[in-house]
Amino acid sequence: MSNSIPDDPDERLNWYTKKMQEFYETFLEENPNWLAGTTLSILEMGIHSLKAYIDDTGNGDIDWSQPTVELHFPVDIERVGNVKDEAFRIKDPQLTFEDIEDSNSAAKAIGRKVLSHLETSVLDTHVMGAAVFEKADGYTPALLPEVIDTLEKLGDETLIERELRAYLQPRSFGAGTIGSDEDFDLTDESAVPPEVLEQLESIEPSLISLPITLEGYKLDVITIFEINPLVVDLENEQAYYPILVGLALQGNEDTKDDNWIDQSLSRIGKVGQVATTKQSKATNEKKTYIHRRVQKQSSPRGTARAAAAA
């Protein structure tokens, strides 16, 4: 493609659009660790947002006693097919005539839109394309055609519900939201339902861990990062990824007890009562979960469909 920028507005827009695609493809080729790098970049932005909420003294819900915040990452979508289909797709980045008024404006717009598209791709990858439709009476799954086919082949309703629940489970690092249709006592592991144990096992290690020593005990300040399926409002053609970002203090077998950990959190950073640790028998690795976010909830049900990007 010629490097000469066309004078005709339509041709210039097409020229810059192709340049943007080239830039995106080149970036992926030259940065094989783009998924991990962009994930950490999103987490970093989330931590900065968390601090801003904590510093806002007028916000009583988020402070150092509960340093977690749910952020909404907006995504551009559009309907496909007719209204009855309830289908959508995530938009590809698009330049406007205003974006390309001059080369400097075009360069900034391309960088901004490519970064946004990259972040959206990373979040979509983490949740494996999972999405839900937000409606007045609740949420229903927004499934890709290939996911629907896989579920239908299972045949058994119980298996389908189990796989659907697992598919819509958030991608969690360091801590995670746990859902169950049953009430249970977390202090009695034998009473915890199998699906809850499975969800605990799916929680991955924290992406960032800072070792500290307090009163001779070794602890870790960890980040909490949870990416939920895309929430889609078809009526208004709006969508966002709910992202939970937070901090927690994690102990080990030699640490005194959970109460001491909670008290220590407030002393070292005014961070308290966020998380506790659980020893996983299956993997022999420490897992962290948030007590206050363990809640009773039903699995989403429905036959709503979302089309794959054309």
Domain ranges of the chain: 131-296
Q: Give the pLDDT of residue 293.
A: 28
Angle, alpha carbons 58-62-68 (nearest 5°):
155
Q: Give the pLDDT of residue 245.
A: 94
Q: Give the pLDDT of residue 78.
A: 87
Q: Give the pLDDT of residue 114.
A: 93
CA atoms in the 13 A half-sphere facing the CB of 226: 25
Taking each helix axis from N to C terminus, what angle separates 194-202 and 157-167, rounded to the nearest 10 degrees?
30
CA distances from 56 to 62, 67, 77, 178 (A): 9, 13, 32, 29
Q: Give the pLDDT of residue 19.
A: 94
51 pLDDT exceeds 60? Answer: yes
Burial call 137-151: b when 16+ CB within 10 Å, e when fewer: eebbbbbbeebeeeb
Q: Which of 65-69, 91-95, 301-305 has the lowest mean pLDDT?
A: 301-305
CA distances from 203 to 96, 105, 169, 230 (A): 41, 42, 10, 19
36 pLDDT exceeds 90? Answer: yes
**Percent over 90 (pLDDT), the chain:** 37
Q: Which residue has the higher pLDDT, 198 or 259?
A: 198
* Residue of 46, 57, 211 lying closest to 122 (CA atoms): 46
122 pLDDT exceeds 90? Answer: yes
Taking each helix axis from N to C terminus, what angle separates 9-30 and 103-126, rounded to the nearest 10 degrees?
50
The predicted model gives 242-249 an average pLDDT of 90
Q: Give the pLDDT of residue 65.
A: 76
Q: Give the pLDDT of residue 284.
A: 32
Q: Give the pLDDT of residue 199.
A: 78
CA distances from 164 to 25, 161, 305 (A): 33, 5, 13
pLDDT band at 144; cut points 50, 70, 90: confident
Nearest-angstrom CA–CA distance, 192 and 180 = 10
Question: Which tens digit of pLDDT belongs to each residue from 199-223?
Answer: 778 888 999 988 887 777 778 889 9
